[in-house]
Amino acid sequence: MMLLSRIFGFQRKVRKLRKTWDRLREKSLKKKNPIREMALERLDAIENHLRMLEEQKLSKIDRARISKEVEIDLEEVKALLEMEPEDIRHPAYTQKA
């Protein structure tokens, strides 16, 4: 019974989110600025939520809410990594004329 809950339970979802996070982190390290900085900042914030899901005992509602937030944030980082540096309209990286 414990094996089934481990395979099909919530921890499986957390492991999948962590794996996605790891892959996106590797991809972001290969990118150049400004995409790299922005992606790494977002991934650091996401890591705190992942740690919370992995280590703390949370209610089902909190686990579901946090895991959905992490999924959405990971999709945003994935879209950010697919962008070109010229497409980013970040105020810190726009060139001043």
Q: Is the pLDDT of residue 75 over 60?
A: yes
pLDDT at residue 96, as a whole number: 46
For the whole model, what pTM was predicted? 0.77
- Give me the mean pLDDT over the 12-18 stretch: 91
- Give me the mean pLDDT over the 13-22 stretch: 93
pLDDT at residue 84, as a whole number: 77
Percent of the chain with pLDDT over 70: 77
- Give me the mean pLDDT over the 14-43 stretch: 91
pLDDT at residue 97, as a whole number: 39
Dihedral angle sign, alpha carbons of residues 82, 93, 33, 50? negative
| DSSP characters over 52-81 | HHHHS---HHHHHHHHHHHHHHHHHHHHHH
